[in-house]
A and B are shown apart, each in its own frame.
Chain A
Amino acid sequence: MGSDRDRKSIKPSRRAVLTASLSAAVGVAVARLAGLRAFDERIAGIEAQKLLGLRPSAPGAPVAVDMAGAPESMPAAIGALAPELPLPATPMLPRPGAAIPPTLAVSGDASVAAPGASARPLPAARQPDAVTGGAIRGASYDWDSPLGSESARVAQLLRRATFGATDAELERALSDGYARTVDRLVETPFADPPPLAGADDANQTKPLQVQALQSWWLDAMQTSPTPFGERMTLFWHGHFTSDYRKVGLQSPFMYWQNQTFRRQGLGDLKTMLMSVTTDPAMLRYLDLGISTGRNPNENYARELMELYSLGVDRFSEDDVRAAAKALAGWREPRTQAMVDALNARAKPGAMPAVADPGKSGVFDRARAFSGTLTYLGKTGSFDTEAVIDRILAQDATAPFVVRRVLAQFVHRTPADALVDRLAARFRAARYDLKSLMRDVFTSPELSSPESYRALVKSPIEFMVSVAKALGTTPQLTRAISGASSGMGQVLFDPPSVGGWPRNEAWVSSNTVVARANFVTQAIGQTRTLPAGVDAYKRHLDGVVGPATAELLTNATDDRSRWSVVLSSAEFQLK
C-alpha cells in the first residue's frame, strides 16, 4: 500500500501510533492500516520495542492524576512558538525518557502532527471525583499533547474560555499570542447583547417567548465580541440555576437573570451571591420570595449553601433553618408592564397595584425575622448580607467554587493541590472572579499533558463551536436550539437545581447519535463550506486518533472532511 501523493495522509496521534506499533509487535502488519501509511516503519520498530518495556498499570488499580506534578518539562516548552500560522505542525517536545529522533516529524508531509511525548500509560480511571462523584474508564494510551506549542495553547484557550473560534478569532488570538489573549479575555468588559425586543415588558398578557429568549442568547454566544462573557454567563447559569418552567415567562425575570450573570460574571463572589439571592427569578425558583421570618421556607437557604457556595456536609440542618429565617423578607419586584396587566384584570374598585423601581427583590422588613440566631457557629442577628459574609468566612467556600470552575475549564478531576492554591489566592483577592479566571488560564496545569482533551464540550458548547468552525454564525441558531433537548442541554431549563452534569455525563449512546445528526444538519444548512483540507489542523490541533486519521485521509471532498472533523471524538473534547 504505497503512499498516495494526491492525498494528504494524516498521521494519528502519537499514542494511537503506539497502539498500532504494538499490533506490529504482536505480528499484525502495521502497514495495513490505511491511516498509518505515512508512518515510518523504522520508528514503528523502535517504538514497539519501547512499548513492550512499558509498565502498564495493574487492572483495577486506582491511579491518581497528579496534575501538579506533571508539567516538569513544561517551562522549556512554553513559548516554543511555532513559526507558521494558523496552526503549525506541533513542534517537538522532548520529555524525559522520550528517545525520539528530532527529525521524525518530517516524513514527507509537513502538515502532519508530529509526535512528541514518550509513551506514558494514561493515568486512567477510577479516581474518586470530588466534583461529580463519578469515575470513568479510559484508554491506556493518551492523546499526544501539542500544548508545548503556544499556538496549540491559544487554540485550547479559545475552546475553554469561549466556544471555539471562527477563523478570524483564531487568527487574531494566534497573532496576539497567549498572554495577550488572556489579557484581552479577562480585561475587556463583557458586552451586553442587543436587547431582546419586548423582554423588559414581559407580562401576563405578553409573556416572554422561550424560543426567542434562547435564540437571543445563542446569537450572542456566536457573535458577541466578548464570547468569554457568554461562556461565563453559561457557567453561572449552570451554577446558580433557575428554570423558566418554574419561574414562568410572564415577567422579564429569566431575561434579567441572564443579564445579571453577564454583568456580574467577572466581579466578585460576594456581589454575585447578593445579586443571586435577591434575583427575581431566583426568588421565584427557590421560593425565597414567599418565605417569611415567621414561616421560613428552607429551599433557597439549603441550596445557597449546598450547591452555590459551601458544598454538602459543610453545614448542619440547624444552619439551614437559621439561614432560612435570616434570609426571609424578600419579595419579587413588579414592573410597570406587569402591574398594568394586573390592574387591567383587577375587579373594579380594587386597589391598583404599584410598580417597583428596580430589577431585584424588594425587602419587606415586616416579613423578615428579627431576633438572634446561631448560624455557622456564630450567634447574633443576621440579615442577608451577614449570611453571605458568614458563608464567605468559611474555609470551604473558596475551594468549592474553585473546584466547580476547574471542572469546566481545566480538568474533570482537578488535583487538590491546584484547587487549594487557586482557592487561597481567590480568597486573598477578596473573592475577585477576574483574578480567579486569570489564575485559571495562566496555571501551568492548564497546559499540562493531563489537561489536553480532558474535558467534554457540553452540547451548547459543541453546537456553537460547530457554527463558528463552519463560519455560519448565527444562521444555525434555530438548528442549535432544536437539537439541544436531544443532547440534554436546554438553555433556561437546566434539569434540576444542581445544574447540568459535566464531562463524561455528556457522552452516551443517545448523545453520540444526536451530536452526529446535528453535524449532518449543520453541514447541510451551510451554503458555502470553508475549505476542509486544513480543518483538522485548525480545529483538532492536527492531533487525531487512528480512525479519524483514516477517515480523513480517505475523504475526498469538503463535506466529508467537515463531517469527519466535526463528528470526531476530538472535536467533542476541548
Chain B
Amino acid sequence: MALQGIEKISRRDFLRNGMVFGAGAVGLAAGYAAVPDVFARAVYAAKRDGATNDRILVMIQLAGGNDGLGTVMPLGDGTLRSLRPTLGRVADNALPLGGGYGLNASLKGIKALYDQGKVAIVNGVGYPKPSFSHFDSIRVWETGDPTRRQQDGWLGKTIEKNYDSAGHPLVGCACGSTGVPGALADLQATLTVVNNQRQFAFDGGDMRDRAMGALYRSTPGMYGALFDTSVATARDTMAKLRTAAASYVPKAKYDDNVRLVYSSKNQLASALQLAAELIVSGTGAKILHVTLGGFDTHQQQAARQDQLLAYLDSAASAFYQDLAGYGMSDRVLIATWSEFGRRPRENANGGTDHGTASPVMLIGDTVKGGLYGESPSLTALDATGNLKYAVDFRAVYQEILDSHLGVDPREVIPATYDRVPFIGKRAAS
C-alpha cells in the first residue's frame, strides 16, 4: 500500500521491458570491454551445463599470516627452542604426527581426522621472492601469480573456465562476508556473497522485491553491470536459500567463540554452517570461501594463536562431521591458506613478525592423509632470517584443481609443478 506506485509498475510486464532493454544491450554487447556480467549467463549457457562431477572446494583463509612453526612444528629440531625461547614451548604439548612433527595442541579435531587418514599437511609452502606485505602477499595467493600481473582470483578463474553459472548463482560464494574476496574476484558480479542467510531478503515483501529486481536493470556507467547483476544474483540466491533452509538441519554442533569472533571479526563457525547448508541442500555450490582473521600476532602470540587454532579446529571439525552426517564428506575438500608464515625468531613481545613459508592443511575424504613437502630448515634461513620455501603454493592449487575438482589446472595456473599427490581419490573428469 505504501509502495503503491511500485505495485503499479510491478504489474506491468517487466519481462517485456526486460527483453527490450535486453535486445538493446545485446546489440551493444560488442561495446563491452570484457565479458560482461549481464551477458555472462548467455556465455556460460553456451558452455557446459554445470559440472561434470560432484566435487566441491571450500577454502578457509587464515588472514593476518598464520605462524606455521606454531601450527606444525619440527619436534626434534633444537634450533626451534633457541630461536623461540618462549613460543617454542608450544611444542611441549604438540600432538605427534609422526616423522618428527607435531601439531598444535589446539587442533585436536583435525588430529583425529589426521589419524583417520583424512588430513594432508603440506609443509613449507611459499613462493619465490616473498612479499612481507599482508596485502601484496594476499594478492599473490589470491591470483596465483607472484609476479603480480594477474588481476583475477584463481577461484574465480576456475569458475569462469569450468562451470555454468546460469541459474546457479551459488556456484561461487563467499560465506559470512560482505564483500567479494580477491580469490573469487574474477566473477565479481556473478558470484554470491552471503553475510547472514537469515537476513538475506528484501524487507518489504514481494512488491519491494520485484521493484528491486527492476531498479538496476540497464544501469548506465562503469558500475552499471555490477549493480544489475548484483541484484539479479541476490534475488536468485534468495530463491535458492529459501528452498535450502527448508531442507537443512545441521548434523553437528557449530559454536562461534564469541570472544574470538570479537578479535577476528569473522564468525567462522556460522560461515561454515552456511557453507554446509549450501552444499547439502543442493544449491549448486562448487567453490566456497570463508575467512578467519586475527593471525597477525606481533605480540603475545602463544595464547592468541592457540585460541584461533582451537576455533578453527572446532569449526572445521563440525563442518566435516556435518557433511559426513549427510554422506557428503567424500566430495568436499577443505583447504586452509594464509598469506605468509611468520619469522622463526620470536620478538621481544612474545610475538613474531612477518615471515614466509608455512604449511597448508587439506581435509576431506578425497585426501590421501599424511605429510607432504618438507619443513624448511631452521638453520639455513634466508638473508631476512626467514624460512626458504619447499613447495610452491601453485603446486598445491594444481593438485586441488587437477585431482580434486577434475578440471584442467593449466587454464588457471599456466606453469606445471611437480605433483604433490595429496588427493587420493581423483575426480572423474
Which residue numbers of A lie inside 8 Å of B, CB to CB? 13, 15-16, 19-23, 25-26, 28, 30, 32-34, 54, 56-63, 121-122, 124-126, 128, 133-143, 245-246, 286-287, 290-292, 294-299, 302, 306-307, 312-313, 317, 320, 412, 453-454, 456, 485-488, 493, 495-498, 501, 503-514, 516-517, 520-521, 545-548, 550-551, 554-557, 559-561, 563-564, 567-569, 572-573
Known: A297-B348, A488-B178. A139 touches B225 (CB 8 A): yes
B227 touches A320 (CB 8 A): no
Chain B neighbourhood of A59, CB < 8 A: 29-30, 32-35
**Does chain A have a CB within 8 A of B321?**
no
User: What are 6 A-to-B residue pairs whose CB atoms are below 8 Å?
Assistant: A125-B34, A133-B139, A134-B151, A140-B29, A493-B265, A511-B230
**Given the complex of chains A and B, what is the CA–CA distance between A28 and B185 in angstroms?**
35
A550 touches B28 (CB 8 A): no
Chain A neighbourhood of B353, CB < 8 A: 297-299
Chain B neighbourhood of A295, CB < 8 A: 347-349
Known: A22-B28, A60-B34, A504-B226. A516 touches B202 (CB 8 A): yes
**Given the complex of chains A and B, what is the CA–CA distance between A549 and B405 in angstroms?**
45
Chain A neighbourhood of B131, CB < 8 A: 312
B192 touches A509 (CB 8 A): yes
**Given the complex of chains A and B, what is the CA–CA distance between A493 and B17 in angstroms?**
43
Chain B neighbourhood of A498, CB < 8 A: 134-135
Smallest CB–CB gap between A301 and chain B, Å? 10
Chain B neighbourhood of A520, CB < 8 A: 202-204, 208
Known: A317-B132, A563-B211. A20 touches B24 (CB 8 A): yes
Chain B neighbourhood of A140, CB < 8 A: 28-32
Chain A neighbourhood of B12, CB < 8 A: 34, 554
**Given the complex of chains A and B, what is the CA–CA distance between A557 and B1 in angstroms?**
10
Smallest CB–CB gap between A58 and chain B, Å? 8
Known: A510-B194, A510-B200. A505 touches B220 (CB 8 A): no
Chain A neighbourhood of B384, CB < 8 A: 317
Q: Nearest A residue to B291 by beta-carbon distance?
A: A495
Known: A126-B151, A142-B221. A564 touches B6 (CB 8 A): yes
Contact of A550 among B17, B19, B191, B233 (CB under 8 A): B17
**Given the complex of chains A and B, what is the CA–CA distance between A516 and B23 in angstroms?**
28
B220 touches A143 (CB 8 A): yes
A142 touches B222 (CB 8 A): yes
Q: How many A-B residue pairs have CB under 8 A?
A: 331
- Annotate B54-93 by CB proximity to A: 1 below 8 A, 0 otherwise: 0000000001100000000000000000000000000000
B20 touches A33 (CB 8 A): yes
Smallest CB–CB gap between B44 and chain A, Å? 15
- With A137-B189, A312-B131, A551-B211 given, name 16 new contacts (CB 8 A): A19-B25, A21-B24, A28-B24, A59-B35, A126-B33, A126-B151, A139-B220, A297-B353, A298-B353, A507-B227, A511-B230, A517-B203, A547-B217, A551-B9, A560-B4, A563-B211
**Does chain A have a CB within 8 A of B246?**
no
**Given the complex of chains A and B, what is the CA–CA distance between A25 and B16 in angstroms?**
17
Contact of B208 among A286, A306, A516, A555 (CB under 8 A): A516
Counting chain B CB atoms within 10 Å of each CB, the highest count among A26, A60, A298, A551 belongs to A551
**Does chain A have a CB within 8 A of B212?**
yes
**Does chain A have a CB within 8 A of B199?**
yes
**Given the complex of chains A and B, what is the CA–CA distance between A302 and B355 in angstroms?**
13
**Given the complex of chains A and B, what is the CA–CA distance between A58 and B3 in angstroms?**
42
B223 touches A504 (CB 8 A): yes
**Given the complex of chains A and B, what is the CA–CA distance between A128 and B152 in angstroms?**
11
Interface size of B by CB at 8 A reads: 93
A22 touches B24 (CB 8 A): yes
Smallest CB–CB gap between A297 and chain B, Å? 6
Q: Nearest B residue to A122 by beta-carbon distance?
A: B222
Chain A neighbourhood of B223, CB < 8 A: 136, 138, 453, 456, 503-504, 507, 569, 573
Chain B neighbourhood of A569, CB < 8 A: 215-216, 219, 221, 223-224, 227
- Annotate B181-193 by CB proximity to A: 1 below 8 A, 0 otherwise: 0000100110111
Chain B neighbourhood of A307, CB < 8 A: 135
Smallest CB–CB gap between B411 and chain A, Å? 16
Contact of B219 among A28, A299, A545, A563 (CB under 8 A): A545
**Given the complex of chains A and B, what is the CA–CA distance between A505 and B230 in angstroms?**
12
B220 touches A561 (CB 8 A): no
Smallest CB–CB gap between A2 and chain B, Å? 16
Chain A neighbourhood of B234, CB < 8 A: 509-510, 512-513
**Given the complex of chains A and B, what is the CA–CA distance between A512 and B202 in angstroms?**
9
Smallest CB–CB gap between A545 and chain B, Å? 5
Cβ < 8 Å to A, chain B residues 125-175: 131-136, 139, 151, 169
Smallest CB–CB gap between A250 and chain B, Å? 15
B201 touches A513 (CB 8 A): yes
Chain B neighbourhood of A32, CB < 8 A: 16-17, 20
Q: Nearest A residue to B36 by beta-carbon distance?
A: A137
Chain A neighbourhood of B2, CB < 8 A: 557, 559-560
**Does chain A have a CB within 8 A of B354?**
yes
Known: A19-B28, A320-B132, A547-B219. A297 touches B298 (CB 8 A): yes
**Given the complex of chains A and B, what is the CA–CA distance between A493 and B34 in angstroms?**
35
